[in-house]
Each structure stands twice: as structure tokens, then as C-alpha cells.
């Protein structure tokens, strides 16, 4: 999806500079749930392309964020967090994250400074990362540096250093957009020489339809926190783009839950909660499309959808 063009050099100078210095490649952001991966990607690309919330498992699919400058282009893979739950849906998310890890030019382990992961989670990431690197560079992005005062951050960075992983450790904050330039310069230094994969104006490979689903899913997590969100999934069933300027974008979607009681929680008293979710998502989608949006959301029960291959395919979590 495009946005405003990146400022460019005069044509002749730009072509010569690109031939000599352009770097391009794929960077996988991996880590535990709720470590700040999506917030970091959103901050870097300058647009909301990934849902964020304080609840783990907000990111469910592989999301590509594209950052282009005169140095080249970085395509970020924002991956689902590695977690312990074992049902089919979580196993699919783990597979997505591992495939992105294996296909990247540079791997970034995103580690929350507040709180730091415990010994069991560190060992888990060691078992995942070290066999998969295969000589590729690793960067440890210590996120949420805005939460830790300098006197508290330094001991935590030293603790990360003691874990003994290869690669540079760099503190960053996606929320406050701190230290991002240094982080990006380091990634460009590690990427191979090459031309951009995507058009310079693009900031994500996702469609508006996919982004709309992401926004709705985010509002469910923000509204319900730990009550229902992990058992809820969004399906965009109809997406009608305006045929001429000034017309409305019309979207119809369903939110699937696993139990009838969850449906009641999601709808809320007199429909208040689903109305709040719809209104908040609609505002984000209107900012995205630059116009008015009609959004209708229905709540439907599909028992055990997280274990149902047919439903997982329909929801876009499994290939056809």
C-alpha cells in the first residue's frame, strides 16, 4: 500500500548513489508475546499496519512493514509471538513466526525491558533462535526503554548481555520513537546490497481489506482485554470500495467466538460494547481510506473454530 513518496535525489545522482550504496532485504522481528514488535513496526513505517494492545497474541498473522530511504529498503516481518499454548491456531502462529525467521536476511529478537523475560523464556528463545540463524546476523532490540529510567535500564541491558546471544543489543522505544535512527542504520549496515523489493511509496504489502480486519481485531482486544479476545476472530465478508469520490466504503464483517456466553459479552448490554468496537474501528478505517466508511459487524458462534481447519482457512489463517 502506498503513501507519500520518499524525498529523492536528482535522477542522475540518485541512480549513481543507489548503484553504489543501496541495500535491501528482509528483517524478521521475533520474540515473546507482547514484547513490542508491532508497536516498533508501526513507529518505523509511520502508519498503523499492525494491531497493538496490552494483551498477548494481538498479532496473529505475518505482517509486512516497508521502510524506504535513500539508503535502500527494509521489509519488516512482524510475527506472532512465540507462546506455549498448544491448540491448532497457536501452532499455526508459531509456524508463521518460524518461517519468517528462516527467510529473513537479518533477525531481530525483540526483548521487553519491562518486564525482562524470565530464565525459562530466555532458554526457549535460545533453542528457537540459535539453530535457525545459520550465520545470519542477529540484533537484540530491547524495547520499552521509555518505561525504564536510565539508572534502571543499564542493569537490564547488562543482564541481556549476560545471556550470551551473538549480535548487538540496542535499546529502542516504538511508543516514544526513541533511538529508531540508530536501530535502522544498524539494520541497513547488515543488509545485503540490492535494489528495493517494493515500490518506494509503499509502506505495507497488506490490502485495505486486511488492514480493516487488523483494526477491528485490535479494538476487540482493547475493549475486552482478557475476557474473550483469544477466542474471537474477524472475517471481512464484504468490502465495497467507492466507485467515485465522495462515496462511502461499505464493509460487512463477522466476529466469531467459540461459546454463546462469549457472544453476549462481546455484544454487551443493549449492544453497547459491539457498537463501541465498531465505532472505534470505523474511525481508524476512515483515516486509512480518507473518506466515510459504513461498517457492520455481526457476532457469530463457531464452537472450536481454533481447532477447525475449515474455519481456519475461511478466516485466512491457513492456506486454501
Instruction: Tell me the three state secondary structure of residue 148.
Output: coil
Count of domains for the chain: 2
Domain of 157 in residue numbering reads as: 11-190
CATH number assigned to the domain comprising residue 65: 3.40.50.300
31 annotated to a ligand binding site: yes
Pairing of strands 63-69, 72-78: antiparallel
78 annotated to a ligand binding site: yes
In a domain, 3, yes or no: no
In a domain, 200, yes or no: no
143 annotated to a ligand binding site: yes
Same domain, residue pair 163 and 216: no
105 annotated to a ligand binding site: no
Separate counts of helices (H) and strands (E) for the chain: 10, 9
152 annotated to a ligand binding site: no
52 annotated to a ligand binding site: no
Nearest-angstrom CA–CA distance, 293 and 291:
7
pTM, full prediction? 0.85
Query: Are 30 and 129 a contacting pair, CB within 8 Å?
Result: yes
pLDDT at 294: 97
> Angle formed by the axes of helices 272-289 and 208-224, to 10°?
140
Q: How many CB atoms lie within 10 A of CB 175?
A: 17
61 annotated to a ligand binding site: no
204 annotated to a ligand binding site: no
Same domain, residue pair 216 and 137: no
Same domain, residue pair 147 and 177: yes
In a domain, 195, yes or no: no
pLDDT in tens, 163-176: 999 999 999 999 99
Chain-centre distance of CA 214, in angstroms? 9
pLDDT at 163: 97
In a domain, 203, yes or no: no
pLDDT at 272: 96
Which stretches of the chain drop beneath a pLDDT of 50?
Answer: 4-14, 16-17, 19
Same domain, residue pair 112 and 165: yes
Same domain, residue pair 138 and 107: yes
pLDDT at 16: 47
Amino acid at each position: 500500500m502506498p503513501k507519500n513518496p520518499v524525498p529523492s535525489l536528482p535522477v542522475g545522482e540518485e541512480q549513481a548513489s543507489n548503484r553504489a550504496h543501496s541495500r535491501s532485504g528482509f528483517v524478521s522481528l521475533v520474540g515473546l508475546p507482547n514484547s513490542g514488535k508491532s508497536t516498533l513496526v508501526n513507529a518505523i513505517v509511520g502508519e498503523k499496519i499492525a494491531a497493538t494492545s496490552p494483551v498477548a497474541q494481538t498479532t496473529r498473522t505475518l505482517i509486512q512493514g516497508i521502510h524506504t530511504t535513500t539508503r535502500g529498503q527494509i521489509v519488516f516481518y512482524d510475527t506472532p509471538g512465540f507462546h506455549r499454548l498448544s491448540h491448532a491456531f497457536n501452532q499455526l502462529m508459531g509456524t508463521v513466526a518460524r518461517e519468517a525467521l528462516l527467510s529473513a536476511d537479518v533477525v531481530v529478537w525483540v526483548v521487553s525491558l519491562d518486564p525482562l523475560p524470565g530464565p525459562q523464556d530466555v532458554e526457549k528463545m535460545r533453542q528457537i533462535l540459535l539453530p535457525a540463524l545459520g550465520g545470519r546476523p542477529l540484533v537484540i532490540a530491547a524495547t520499552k526503554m521509555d518505561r525504564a529510567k536510565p539508572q534502571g535500564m543499564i542493569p537490564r541491558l547488562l543482564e541481556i548481555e549476560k545471556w550470551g546471544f551473538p549480535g548487538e543489543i540496542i535499546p529502542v522505544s516504538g511508543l516514544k520513537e526513541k533511538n529508531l535512527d540508530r536501530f535502522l542504520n544498524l539494520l541497513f549496515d547488515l543488509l545485503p546490497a540490492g535494489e528495493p523489493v517494493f515500490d518506494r511509496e509503499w509502506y505495507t504489502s497488506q490490502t485495505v481489506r486486511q488492514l480493516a480486519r487488523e483494526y477491528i481485531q485490535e479494538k476487540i482486544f482493547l475493549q475486552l482485554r482478557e475476557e474473550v479476545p483469544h477466542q474471537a476472530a474477524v472475517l471481512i465478508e464484504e468490502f465495497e470500495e467507492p466507485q467515485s469520490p465522495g462515496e462511502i466504503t461499505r464493509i460487512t464483517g463477522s466476529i466469531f467466538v467459540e461459546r454463546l456466553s462469549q457472544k453476549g459479552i462481546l455484544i454487551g448490554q443493549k449492544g453497547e460494547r459491539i457498537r463501541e468496537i465498531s465505532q472505534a474501528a470505523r474511525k481508524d478505517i476512515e483515516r486509512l481510506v480518507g473518506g466515510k466508511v459504513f461498517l457492520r459487524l455481526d457476532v457469530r458462534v463457531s464452537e472450536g473454530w481454533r481447532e477447525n481447519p475449515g474455519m481456519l482457512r475461511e478466516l485466512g489463517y491457513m492456506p486454501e
